[in-house]
Amino acid sequence: MRIRVLVLALAFSANAFGEEALPAAQRGELGVRYWLSTGETRNSHNAQGASALVGNPTSVLTYENLDAHVLEVFGRQNFGGRWLLKGNLGIGRINTGSFDDEDYLAGQFKFLDTTSSVTEGKIAYGTVDIGLIPWSALGGRSTLGVFLGFNQWTEDVDAYGVTQTADPLGVGGGNLPDSVLVISNKATWKSLRIGLAATVAIGERGQFVADLAYIPYSEVRNEDSHHLRDDLGPVPNVIKEGVGTGVQLDFEFRYEIFSRTLLSVGARYWRLKADYGTDRTDFPLVELISERAGVTLSLTRTW
């Protein structure tokens, strides 16, 4: 029902703001983009339903400083006068980071804190949006569009070794070398997007481009594989699922280096947060957040 209302709103806007079609030279683009970024995924749950001796949150798992290199292809096609279709597909490698595991008793007394090294991982995502362009100026070089779309974003990392940084009760198992695979994490978000796509002409060759998406609904599945915990069963042995909201923001400055060929530098910030959910034991989530931010460099061909 929510999607149907948004589509009807787009159609109404197209009629209300109907103007002449965009010039042919502004109807499409195809490009490649490099995204250099760092990210974090943090999740925690409340196990006080099983024991009053534990804290809230009971366990906090943080995969942080996840530096990644991503190569992306993207495109956009304007059609039917003022409708638009756009999307991207990216895949990359996470090459460094760390994992922090914190456990708490009642009163938030931290009884165990360990760190591990993230030495490898993968990132992949895809987006498709459809919308309309109710306003344009300067022969179509400046435009404002609204869109509705879908995004799927997955990150998968492995962490090695254990260094104990806090163990006041002496319950930890000691340190482990970096050659030992300790835990893997795979977080997959599937999100509905609504937003604005704006292009502002700067002089004869420059453009400022912004793609601002609000995520009103996102489903997440977070899989933790504790490879050394036989008591938890086969991996993935701790699965959390939730529903939440977020934002996906992109900004670029483009400059036409050749006819219809633009070089761009920009910035990107994504943040999704599950507002509620449970893990496999029905313990409620306290939080589940994925963030990624960085700079972009792209080459675009228009027609």
User: Each residue of 75-130: pLDDT tens digit?
Assistant: 999 988 789 999 999 999 999 999 999 999 999 999 999 999 999 999 999 999 99
Give the whole-angstrom CA distance, residue 301 versus residue 303.
Answer: 7
Mean pLDDT of 185-203: 97
Asked if residue 191 has pLDDT above 70, the reply is: yes
Asked if residue 20 has pLDDT above 50, the reply is: no
The answer to whether the CB of 134 falls within 8 A of the CB of 109 is no
Asked if residue 140 has pLDDT above 90, the reply is: no
The CA-based angle 181-187-190, given to 5 degrees, is 160
Identify the pLDDT of residue 80: 85
- Of the chain, the percentage scoring pLDDT greater than 90 comes to 81
User: Each residue of 151-167: pLDDT tens digit?
Assistant: 999 999 999 999 999 99
Task: Tell me the domain boundaries of the chain.
Answer: 2-302
Identify the pLDDT of residue 26: 61
Asked if residue 3 has pLDDT above 80, the reply is: no
Give the whole-angstrom CA distance, residue 224 versus residue 56.
Answer: 19
Q: Report the range of poorest mean pLDDT among 38-42, 69-73, 75-79.
A: 75-79
- Of the chain, the percentage scoring pLDDT greater than 70 comes to 91
The answer to whether the CB of 242 falls within 8 A of the CB of 285 is yes
Q: DSSP letter string over the chain?
A: -HHHHHHHHHHHHHHHT--PPPPGGGSEEEEEEEEEEEEEEEEEE--TTT-TTEEEEEEEEEEEEEEEEEEEEEEEEEETTTEEEEEEEEEEEEEEEEEEEEEEETTTEEEEEEEEEEEEEEEEEEEEEEEEEEEEEGGGTEEEEEEEEEEEEEEEEEEEEEEEEE-TTS-S---EEEEEEEEEEEEEEEEEEEEEEEEEEETTTEEEEEEEEEEEEEEEEEEEEETT-GGG-SSS-EEEEEEEEEEEEEEEEEEEEETTEEEEEEEEEEEEEEEEEEETT-PBEEEEEEEEEEEEEEEEEE-
Identify the pLDDT of residue 22: 53
Mean pLDDT of 141-146: 92
Domain 2-302 homologous superfamily, CATH: OMPT-like (2.40.128.90)
Q: How many helices (H) and strands (E) does the chain have?
A: 1, 10
Asked if residue 16 has pLDDT above 50, the reply is: no
Mean pLDDT of 209-220: 98
Average pLDDT over the chain, rounded to an integer: 91
Asked if residue 11 has pLDDT above 90, the reply is: no
Mean pLDDT of 282-288: 91
Tell me the pLDDT band of 256, cut-offs 50, 70 and 90: very high
Give the whole-angstrom CA distance, residue 220 versus residue 231.
Answer: 25
Tell me the pLDDT band of 72, cut-offs 50, 70 and 90: very high
Asked if residue 15 has pLDDT above 70, the reply is: no
- pTM across the whole model: 0.90
